[in-house]
Amino acid sequence: MLLSANKSKKILPFLFLILLTLPPKAAAEDSDAFIWTQLKLGPNWDPYPDAYSSILAFVSQLTSVPVSSKRRVIALEDPKLFLSPMLILAGEESPGPLSKKEIHILSDYLRAGGLLWIENDSGVVGGSFEDWTKKISKEIFPQISLKPVEPDNILFKTFFLMKEAGGLHARNPGIETLDYDGRIAIIYDRNDLLGVWEEDALGKPLYPAIPGGSLQRELGKRLTLNIILYALTGDYKADAVHQPYLMEKMRSGIP
């Protein structure tokens, strides 16, 4: 049955809204699309179950990165771990001690080029999740520690130019990295980056970003995308060829 012109006009915005809420275009034809891979570890491993969908839509919309619409959820002993160069671990409290085998697997993964992004969504400084993160980092890399990122860190340049981190919270330092063999092996965030992506059906944020509000939320979103671009391009934006352009842009004022 054909719709009349008037009815069509009323339905089209709804159709558009439905289209926007659909997951990003599945990259079935792509060889190695980016797959959001999340580690199932501990009782609170998935505080924001829908965040990945919004993140992937954002990545797909702004960049040339092909993304997979399906999320990959794995345990540490899952062989698919080694198919996922970037691994996200979210949590609010300690997921409990890792077995020797799990530590060994995680160590092999990180040393071979894997990137572990740990999201502390508890909103508190310190706490059991942070203690666990530091303990595990030390077990894997006894000689190397997590260090707060400087404003000129590559994570603030991979796509968006930024001066500071965002998120639901504004802890300082909010984000730390552990560098191994000339690259970042572990990213640890305290500002709840995943929380900024949770929205209701109408696209309204579910959680407030305190104290910075929308700008802080936007910075959180940008940092999320930058982290993904770091996994896919490394320190590409640190190359000398980019520096004159980036310096000029930085001087012109960025949020």
SS3 101: helix
Minimum CB–partner distance for residue 1 and another protein (Å): 34
Q: Return the ∠ at Cα 166 (arms to 164 and 167), rounded to 5°.
A: 160
What tokens were used for 29?
A: 């034809």
Identify which of 70, 57, 47, 20 has the alpha carbon closest to the alpha carbon of residue 202: 20
What tokens were used for 109?
A: 């993964």
The residue among 5 and 112 lying less far from another protein, judged by its C-beta, is: 112
The residue among 108 and 131 lying less far from another protein, judged by its C-beta, is: 108
Minimum CB–partner distance for residue 165 and another protein (Å): 15
Minimum CB–partner distance for residue 124 and another protein (Å): 31
Minimum CB–partner distance for residue 163 and another protein (Å): 11
**What is the biggest distance separating any 2 CA atoms in the chain, rounded to whole angstroms?**
70
How many angstroms separate the CA atoms of 245 and 237, rounded? 11
The residue among 27 and 73 lying less far from another protein, judged by its C-beta, is: 27
Minimum CB–partner distance for residue 162 and another protein (Å): 8
The residue among 18 and 28 lying less far from another protein, judged by its C-beta, is: 28
How many angstroms separate the CA atoms of 27 and 87, rounded? 19
CA distances from residue 91 to 3, 36, 115, 248 in whole angstroms, order as listed: 49, 16, 17, 39
Strand 183-189: give its sheet, edge to edge.
72-74, 37-39, 86-91, 115-120, 183-189, 175-180, 147-148
Q: Count Cβ atoms below 10 Å from residue 3 Cβ, excluding itself.
A: 11
Minimum CB–partner distance for residue 82 and another protein (Å): 4
Minimum CB–partner distance for residue 254 and another protein (Å): 5
The residue among 87 and 136 lying less far from another protein, judged by its C-beta, is: 87
Where along the sequence are the contacts to another protein (CB under 8 A)?
Answer: 28-32, 61-66, 82-83, 85, 105, 108-109, 111-114, 157-161, 182-183, 229, 231-234, 236-237, 239, 241-242, 245-246, 249, 252-255
SS3 177: strand
The residue among 91 and 212 lying less far from another protein, judged by its C-beta, is: 212
Pairing relationship of beta strands 72-74 and 147-148 according to DSSP bridges = unpaired
The residue among 124 and 250 lying less far from another protein, judged by its C-beta, is: 250
